Chains A and B, each alone.
Chain A
């Protein structure tokens, strides 16, 4: 009898080890930390900053220099830690949850942001530092990161979505991208491209919802209803996906390695000229300059095609909010610094210069000397100037809401539904009904 217990105990020990195994991987990547002192003196306050995009650190470095010069008595040293996307958000949520080990300042991506807004947000309200800049920036970008009227995160960009056309391929097929207005035009052009060159006009994304957002925005719809409840099997969603599916069936678009344009595999595919078009938020520009050097001078930016002429041609996609945690060392200093580094006019100009994003201070969009600076690497890379397109669609940039249900909606669509539709050819209505049921189940 004793022995039986011993064996049971032993098995219990071993199976308990399972949990140990599960937890290990989170420590697999610690990220890289670098200290930016940017001319700060001995008395500078040290603040820590976590991000998942290396480039964001570069932007902060520039702004930090300016801040330290302007505020000699309140200088800052910034410890920047760059971690992979999932790791950073997971670690941040555990740190915020336990109240131990969180940085003073952090970046949170829009897709993960609602998780941090559940219940009482464990982040510092930023209303007081936003106030001086309130009239200069796009209100909807402040609302995007607010809860009950209080701002908790500062947006980086508008993320207006546009079409990126590879003019070399289009030329070869005898297509002029400027004549593409509706999806019908796009389909005709795409069939011509496939026939003449054997290349695909665009991608059918399976691991991101940029294309679905774009289709919904055109029809004035969203993934959720007015009350924020998920509604992914709406008529508009079915219509949007039917158009995409039809494009895929006609070899106009095809699935891509990596599942969407903003992945390493896809950069390679685009760079080798296998796909002619990407419909992405404007920040995809920095991916072109960084990862697709071969396409320099070949990519043109244009408004996205619409279902019917006159429909809105863009929506704000993706986004990153910079936040201050409740456990920050010097809350007020951190708040004032991020407001300065994200909302001031200088900051907005630098966001375009360094990151190639469409700044949320729209006055910058009209500053010709900034936007058309011939030395700017983005201006050099693209066939036309992005701001010419942006100013054209300025009043048509819709917003896809971010709700507590959004992370779940995204997860189900990107892992299951879009794969079923584009890879397996499952009936669109059936796939969306299943998705709706699963989302409701998970949100219970």
Chain B
């Protein structure tokens, strides 16, 4: 009986996916449900929560700081998409090319930053972009006769530092995704194209790009939510969650400020639900456009 159960082709798949389902239910569905209910409550330190209906949401709609945080996260996401997809793809193609020398060296040096802790990297970037004359970036600028800048106090310059940190850290990881994608493209296609007299550029646009599409979609999806979920980078770069004029405040940062720093967990839960809604809408739209929902032939 047990044997029949274990060997049953109908049951086996369910057994295999069971751990995932359990983890999903306990660690995701349950917290999701409780934050949803919490977003309709007023939660105070050590006291029973009160139901307040849509109060948290209506308050959120009039909250300028929240919209600032949403805008910051969105801009950061777009900037990382613009930089962290084309460039890693290009580097991957270059490294994958037969003409490339010291391939392993470049691969590992690009990947190396991803191994450092964000906390350490953020702190070092904070010091590099410090506003004092002696900080690294300002002394480099000084060589060209440019006055010291207060990088972390301005919106644009602050984002330069933030995006520099992201680029430094994630280029290697995305490059690795593209490299593994490239490995799956058979050489035959390129050979055939060469025989037909295709140029290098044509090969790239007609063979490499389309065949990298699944990888690109994957990288795009994770980059979208990584961009919207960014928090620690900003927290480390500004040495805390409170950047001047909130230039580095992200949605998760605002959630953290309201929920943890100000003990307003109900309001923070509402921020979280809105964040979930935004990411779901963007990602599902993006996946629908790229054809992920189409029936496979």
Binding site for B on A (CB under 8 A): 3-4, 7-8, 11-19, 21-22, 24-26, 28, 86, 89-90, 93-94, 96-97, 99, 115-116, 118-120, 122, 206-207, 257, 259, 265, 268-269, 326, 407-408, 411, 414-416, 419-420, 423, 438, 441-442, 444
Contact A3 B293 (CB under 8 A): yes
Minimum CB–CB distance for B96 against chain A, Å: 27
| Residue numbers in A under 8 Å from B160 (CB-CB) | none
Contact A441 B64 (CB under 8 A): yes
Q: A410: nearest residue on chain B (CB-CB)? A: B242
A113 to B44 CA separation, bound complex (whole angstroms): 15
17 additional contacts (CB under 8 A) given A25-B231, A96-B46, A416-B245: A7-B292, A8-B284, A13-B24, A15-B276, A17-B229, A24-B232, A25-B119, A25-B235, A89-B261, A94-B260, A115-B45, A259-B244, A265-B130, A407-B262, A415-B245, A416-B244, A441-B59
- A-B CB pair tally, cutoff 8 Å: 130
Contact A15 B46 (CB under 8 A): no
Q: Which of B250-291 contact A (CB under 8 A)?
A: 252, 255-257, 260-263, 272, 275-276, 279-280, 283-284, 287
Contact B245 A420 (CB under 8 A): yes
Contact A96 B244 (CB under 8 A): no
Contact residue among A19, A90, A407, A408 (Cβ-Cβ distance under 8 Å from B31): A19
What string of 1s and 0s marks CB contacts (under 8 Å) between B185-211 and chain A?
A: 000000000000000000000000000
| Residue numbers in A under 8 Å from B229 (CB-CB) | 17-18, 21-22
Contact A12 B280 (CB under 8 A): yes
Contact A441 B62 (CB under 8 A): yes
Contact residue among A18, A122, A415 (Cβ-Cβ distance under 8 Å from B45): A122
Using known A-B contacts A15-B225, A257-B130, A414-B242, determine if residue A21 contacts B231 with beta carbons closer than 8 Å.
yes
Using known A-B contacts A7-B287, A119-B44, determine if residue A18 contacts B228 with beta carbons closer than 8 Å.
yes
Q: Is B95 an interface residue (CB 8 A)?
A: no
A411 to B44 CA separation, bound complex (whole angstroms): 19
Using known A-B contacts A21-B252, A207-B244, determine if residue A444 contacts B59 with beta carbons closer than 8 Å.
yes
Contact A441 B244 (CB under 8 A): no
Contact A416 B246 (CB under 8 A): yes
Per DSSP, are chain A's interface residues mostly helix, strand or loop, or mixed? Answer: helix
A206 to B280 CA separation, bound complex (whole angstroms): 38
Q: Is B139 an interface residue (CB 8 A)?
A: no
A75 to B94 CA separation, bound complex (whole angstroms): 70
A16 to B260 CA separation, bound complex (whole angstroms): 19
Minimum CB–CB distance for A405 against chain B, Å: 12
Minimum CB–CB distance for A379 against chain B, Å: 32
Using known A-B contacts A118-B44, A438-B65, determine if residue A18 contacts B221 with beta carbons closer than 8 Å.
no
Using known A-B contacts A97-B45, A438-B64, determine if residue A7 contacts B244 with beta carbons closer than 8 Å.
no
Contact A423 B244 (CB under 8 A): yes
10 pairs of residues in contact across A and B, judged by CB atoms under 8 Å:
A11-B283, A19-B31, A21-B229, A21-B252, A28-B232, A93-B45, A99-B46, A118-B263, A122-B45, A416-B246
Using known A-B contacts A15-B225, A22-B231, A441-B64, determine if residue A93 contacts B263 with beta carbons closer than 8 Å.
yes
Q: Is B98 an interface residue (CB 8 A)?
A: no
Q: Which of B208-249 contact A (CB under 8 A)?
A: 221-222, 225, 228-229, 231-232, 235, 240-246
Contact B284 A11 (CB under 8 A): yes
Contact B221 A11 (CB under 8 A): yes
A288 to B228 CA separation, bound complex (whole angstroms): 42
| Residue numbers in B under 8 Å from A17 (CB-CB) | 225, 229
Q: B47: nearest residue on chain A (CB-CB)? A: A119
Minimum CB–CB distance for A227 against chain B, Å: 21
Q: B59: nearest residue on chain A (CB-CB)? A: A444
A420 to B245 CA separation, bound complex (whole angstroms): 7
10 smallest CB-CB distances across A and B, nearest first, come from: A122-B46, A18-B229, A419-B244, A22-B252, A15-B279, A16-B28, A415-B242, A119-B44, A90-B260, A25-B232
Q: Which of B60-105 contact A (CB under 8 A)?
A: 62-65
A419 to B153 CA separation, bound complex (whole angstroms): 8
Using known A-B contacts A25-B235, A97-B46, determine if residue A115 contacts B280 with beta carbons closer than 8 Å.
no
Q: A85: nearest residue on chain B (CB-CB)? A: B240
Contact A120 B46 (CB under 8 A): yes
A13 to B246 CA separation, bound complex (whole angstroms): 29
Contact A90 B261 (CB under 8 A): yes
Contact B263 A97 (CB under 8 A): yes
Contact B244 A18 (CB under 8 A): no
Contact A18 B252 (CB under 8 A): yes
| Residue numbers in A under 8 Å from B272 (CB-CB) | 19
A326 to B45 CA separation, bound complex (whole angstroms): 13
Minimum CB–CB distance for B61 against chain A, Å: 11
A97 to B268 CA separation, bound complex (whole angstroms): 15
| Residue numbers in A under 8 Å from B257 (CB-CB) | 411
| Residue numbers in A under 8 Å from B149 (CB-CB) | none
| Residue numbers in B under 8 Å from A414 (CB-CB) | 242
Contact A3 B280 (CB under 8 A): no
Contact A206 B244 (CB under 8 A): yes
A411 to B235 CA separation, bound complex (whole angstroms): 15
Minimum CB–CB distance for A26 against chain B, Å: 7
| Residue numbers in A under 8 Å from B243 (CB-CB) | 415
| Residue numbers in A under 8 Å from B183 (CB-CB) | none
| Residue numbers in A under 8 Å from B65 (CB-CB) | 438, 442
Minimum CB–CB distance for B170 against chain A, Å: 14
Q: Is B32 an interface residue (CB 8 A)?
A: yes
Q: Is B163 an interface residue (CB 8 A)?
A: no
| Residue numbers in A under 8 Å from B153 (CB-CB) | 419, 423
What string of 1s and 0s marks CB contacts (under 8 Å) between B25-67 and chain A?
A: 0001001100100000000111100000000000100111100
| Residue numbers in A under 8 Å from B287 (CB-CB) | 7, 11
Q: B65: nearest residue on chain A (CB-CB)? A: A438
A11 to B286 CA separation, bound complex (whole angstroms): 11
A416 to B257 CA separation, bound complex (whole angstroms): 15
A13 to B31 CA separation, bound complex (whole angstroms): 12
Contact A16 B32 (CB under 8 A): yes
A2 to B64 CA separation, bound complex (whole angstroms): 41
Minimum CB–CB distance for B230 against chain A, Å: 9
A414 to B131 CA separation, bound complex (whole angstroms): 18
Q: Which of B115-136 contact A (CB under 8 A)?
A: 119, 130-132
| Residue numbers in A under 8 Å from B256 (CB-CB) | 22
| Residue numbers in B under 8 Å from A259 (CB-CB) | 244
A408 to B295 CA separation, bound complex (whole angstroms): 52
